[in-house]
Amino acid sequence: MVRQRSAKPPFAGSIPAVASIPSPASLSTVTTLSTPANFHFGSTVVSHGWYLLAPFRWVRAEQTLHRPLVLGGKPVDLAISFAEGELRIEGATDAKYIEKNGAELRRKLSRMFQLGIDTSEFVTLSRSSQPHAWVETSGFGRLLCGATLFEDVVKIIATTNTMWKQTVRMTELLVGKCGRRTKSGRVAFPEPADVARFSAEELQEDCRLGYRAKSIHTLASGIVSGAIDLGAMSDPLQSTEELFASYRELPGIGPYGAAHLLAMDGRHDFIAVDTEFRRFVRERYHGDRAVSDRTMLRRYAKWGRWKYLAYWSELWESVAAGLEPPDADSR
């Protein structure tokens, strides 16, 4: 995600089992997870700005995504790479622990890499669109997500009414203050209870969240108390319109944030018009002339349920390089 002005995008069958393979390292375990036929690891990781937000750490030269992840209540260091059609996950813990929490690991990684989403129709449509000719060759189509819906909602709130570098800093401070540390000292993204134990005022002061602290604290506290049920709100049996309305009920989430959460679910048939959308379409297609929202949206009508992804691919291609710091690989 670039930023958000008001905020700023089904593989068939069951999720395959994780196979545990003892690694030469005494406290390291390697597991694998199968991926869809058209899955592209690198393009999914850098599909938007999430890979630059804590606790992700992308080492481009090694094509490895590092991040601590809470499994069974315990933060574990993971290094995720790709080979021979499978995600290869190396965890700094013993094999029995990984096996015991295998279902949670599969669930979180499947969300993170959108393994349950079939993007083949989008790829087919992109072949007949010159601006999207790069989509198929690059493997673009899946968006990197957080390990949980809570993580994605918090990060979207952190993009509202701010610049990207502030989003990066706010997220880093929030993770550092509230997250659980692994044995190596890395910090996992906090669970709702980890955030709720601090007051909104403390989060605002220590994490530089500004007015967003209240929304994030209300979200975390609501989940802990049971007042907010993210599972029910994100029920995939809902229509896109119903799901959009559900997400709009979350603290700090407006139309743009709800549209982005839909994209995290692989639903791209809704574009929330905001200032960033208007600016991009006006500059790219209308010579910076003022045109109606209806005219702008009509440009993406041919994409059907892939409208948002078609727009996002154009926008991301134009801004991606500018978001990545020179030392991104070594953070």
User: 182 and 161 in contact (C-beta within 8 Å)?
Assistant: no
Does any domain span residue 95? yes
Give me the pLDDT at residue 323, please: 65
Does any domain span residue 148? yes
CA 68 from centre of chain: 15
Does any domain span residue 331? no
Give me the pLDDT at residue 249, please: 97
Does any domain span residue 220? yes
Does any domain span residue 215? yes
Residue-range definition of the domain harbouring residue 121: 1-326
Q: Is the sign of the CA dihedral 261, 262, 264, 268 positive or negative? A: negative
Does any domain span residue 224? yes
Instruction: Give the pLDDT of the chain (331 residues) as one tens digit per residue.
Output: 434 433 333 322 333 334 443 343 444 788 999 999 889 999 999 999 999 999 999 999 999 999 999 999 999 999 999 999 999 999 877 778 888 999 999 999 999 999 999 999 999 999 999 989 899 999 999 999 999 999 999 999 999 999 999 999 999 999 999 999 999 999 999 999 999 999 999 999 999 999 999 999 999 999 999 999 999 999 999 999 999 999 999 999 999 899 999 999 999 998 988 888 999 999 999 999 999 999 999 999 999 999 999 999 998 888 766 666 655 454 4
**CA separation, residue 210 to residues 160, 197, 270 (Å):** 11, 18, 29
CA 312 from centre of chain: 14
Give me the pLDDT at residue 91, please: 87
CATH number at residue 222: 1.10.340.30
Does any domain span residue 89? yes
Q: Give me the phi and psi of 227, to 5 degrees please.
A: -70, -25
Give me the pLDDT at residue 131, please: 87
Give me the pLDDT at residue 321, please: 63
Indicate the number of domains in the chain.
1
User: 259 and 271 in contact (C-beta within 8 Å)?
Assistant: yes
Does any domain span residue 153? yes
